[in-house]
Amino acid sequence: MSQKFTVRPRMRKVESLTSYILRVGTANYFDYKRILKMVNTKRNNKDIWRRTFRFDVFVDGRIDMFRLSKLLKISEYEIQSMTFMPLVNKLIEEGHYTSEQILIALPKLIEINKRYFCPLCLKEQGYYKLLWQVKEIDMCNIHLCRLQSSCQNCMELQPYISENLAIMQCKYCHSKLTTQGIQKIEDEKEINYQSEKYIKWNYMLNKKSRIAPRITGVPSDKIISYSILYAANAPEEEYNFRKIKSKIREDYIHRIIRFVNGEDSPQHVTFPQLINILEALQISIHDFAQLKVPPIFIRSIPKNQDTRNKHCLTPWCSSYKTNVTMRKIEHISHLQEKKIRYYNAHVCTNCFMKYGINAETEEWQQVGNRIVKIELVRDLLNFGINRKQIHRDTKIPEKELTEIFGYLVQHKLLRSDLCEQYTPTNQPEDLVSVFKQLINESGTLFKNAKKMFGMSRSEYFYYFSSKKVQYYFLFESYEDKKRYKRVSKGIWTDRVLKELKEFKQKDQEISIKYIAASLNCTPELLGIYGLREIIDKAREEQRKCRLSRLEIEYRTKIDRYFDQCEINNKGILFKDIYELIGRRQTYIKEYMPKLSEWISTQVKNYKNKRHVDKRK
């Protein structure tokens, strides 16, 4: 195995492992896929093709490190130095996270679907750097230009790994990636900001550096949570909720505190959250690791903040002022109504009123003040006032009024004659199965109910208010929705990517509005499936590519103009140049600063040359 390759290129200090494997394969006329296959510990190779990023991110038992070391004739330590494993090992060894948590968390910080590159670095050095794949890094720290992920010739995104990338060519049109135009970064603040990102990630990848402080007597998995709270609280040594609240979201604070107190909370600070919070607090990872969290701060954190009486506050409910039928809604972190957050969400499974702790007042409350509205509408209806009059007098929106009306009839809170009058006939036998069908279709539940079952709005809210349906939506539909959303997201992602490809090929203007119109859907739908970011990135890449192409086109036009003026011995004015390219000088200065400088230099040189020629 160790004699497999006769040519072994020198590994580079900042190179990614996948880049090195590509170079080894190319130097030995050997398909990189065969190398990956030879070190795959699983029988099924499909997974390794889909998840090639794991070679750079986290070698988690799917890759035979010993075999790879023999094959490449470099040590396992050298292999790990070309990956994010020094950071992964540190986080696991220090006890802050498990390997499973890291495998989920790290890809959120690293681009795993496409390859970023600097054309000038590829031309000069011939390899792909590891830190180019970090999502928050957008600049080459050598040439101070934007990193690219698509070919400027065909506009196609480059995959994470391919044979063409090994020879620095576009996978699709085979254009050289080393000759692509670049976008220089001139803003000093942005250069410094991006340089700090390189410093941060180099620090985190340093084997000797620490990620979090040491706190004696505190379990390792809780150190980061305590330290984050203290970082937001400093320099005060005792816990100050109001101060921390000004920097970290309230419901997030409460969940962290429940976690460090060992209470019922799934919330620990994930690694991506740690990075984002430190960014918001403007604290470097190095300074964070040096924090000294005083014991007085840990002791001052409130204990058992969840001891409030979680009673039902609904007067007509048989569980009123008891917690017998109260149940926690596990899959959501908080409820929100009119900008007010309610954490520790519960529901009474008898009356199905939702409750939580108001993040502003810290009191146990019914969410959205529905009890008062329902009692008001109930009393007015029982008194004989019709719905139209109630709508005019109470100013309750028609839709909300219909929902309340359905609830009152379903829970038999109206006079018997009204309940009998407004209870739908020919009710479906299995209401839950009906609503299961509704959530598996795109569009709102009511529109689907109207389209599929001919329900009126009153019928829909009557059925929706039933205990079985409410129970399903609160405790069982989560997995169905997640499964459907996962499938739907995959379908819509494929459709959006296909549409983006067509837009790029036709050089059509990319925007979420135009993509949605082309797919015959709403921009909101694409936002629900998290596709706005993909479209925004494609739009930005299109803008950069267009500017690069335009700059090359303008330079060619201007060069010809200078040649013509020289032949005709004609003077040159700036306004003539900008009229020639059809752009204002202010536009070129803002969007093409390098071209603006080049034009100024060319005009100056031309005038000097004419002056010298006249003197001669």
- The model's pLDDT over 538-596, given as tens digits with 9 standing for 90+, comes to 888 888 888 888 888 888 889 888 888 888 888 888 888 888 888 888 888 888 888 88
* pLDDT tens figures, 69-90: 888 888 988 999 999 999 988 8
- Of the three residues 368, 392, 421, the one that is the final residue of a domain is 421
Both 51 and 99 in a single domain? yes
Sorting pLDDT into bands at 50, 70 and 90, what band is 458? Answer: very high
Residue 536 lies in a domain: no
Q: Does residue 190 sit within a domain? A: no
The phi-psi region of residue 78 (left if phi > 0; otherwise alpha if psi is between -120 and 50; otherwise beta) is alpha
Query: For a pLDDT cut of 90, what percent of the chain falls above it?
Result: 35
Structural domain including 563 reads: 543-615
Q: Judge contact between 570 and 599, C-beta under 8 A.
A: no
Please report which confidence band the pLDDT of residue 14 belongs to, taking 50, 70 and 90 as the band edges. Answer: very high
Asked if residue 415 and residue 385 are part of one domain, the reply reads: yes
Domain boundary among 300, 333, 360: 300
CA angle 525, 527, 528 (to 5 degrees): 65
Asked if residue 413 and residue 317 are part of one domain, the reply reads: yes
The answer to the question of residue 194 being in a domain is: no
| pLDDT band per the 50, 70, 90 thresholds, residue 325 | very high
Same domain? 167 vs 40: yes
Considering the domain architecture, whether residues 21 and 169 belong to the same structural domain is answered as yes
Is residue 537 in some structural domain?
A: no
> Which pLDDT score, from 0 to 100, does residue 1 have?
46
Question: Which pLDDT score, from 0 to 100, does residue 43 have?
Answer: 60
Question: Rounded CA gap, 230 and 6, in Å?
Answer: 55
Q: How confident is the model at residue 376 (pLDDT cuts 50, 70, 90)?
A: very high
Give the total number of structural domains in the chain.
5
Asked if 339 and 288 sit in the same domain, the reply is no
Q: Residue 448: inside a domain, yes or no? A: yes
Q: What is the mean pLDDT of residues 287-292?
A: 93
Residues 361 and 413 occupy one common structural domain: yes
Point out which residues pair with 335 in neighbouring strands.
342
Residue 267 maps to a domain: yes
Considering the domain boundaries, does residue 29 fall inside one?
Answer: yes
Are 491 and 588 found together in one domain? no
Assess if residue 10 is contained within a domain. Answer: no
- Read off the amino acid at residue 226: Y
Average pLDDT over residues 512-519: 85
Indicate the pLDDT class of residue 437, thresholds 50, 70 and 90.
confident
Residue 50 and residue 123 in one domain: yes
Contacts of 55 (CB under 8 A, 6+ apart): 17, 18, 21, 36, 63, 83
Q: Of the residues 393, 421, 449, which one is the last residue of a structural domain?
A: 421
Residues 63 and 157 in one domain: yes
Q: Which amino acid is at 165?
A: L
Position 306 scores a pLDDT of 52
Q: What value does the mean pLDDT take over residues 343-351?
A: 91
Distance CA 9, CA 22 (A): 11
201 φ, ψ (degrees, to nearest 5): -70, -35
Q: Are residues 84 and 174 in the same domain?
A: yes
Per-residue pLDDT, averaged over 45-65, amounts to 72
CA–CA dist 374, 359 (Å, integer): 24
The angle at the Cα of 368, spanning 367 to 373, to the nearest 5 degrees, equals 120
| Whether 350 and 373 share a structural domain | yes
Cβ neighbours of residue 552 closer than 8 Å, sequence gap 6 or more:
181
Q: Each residue of 170-201: pLDDT tens digit?
A: 999 999 999 888 889 989 999 999 999 999 99
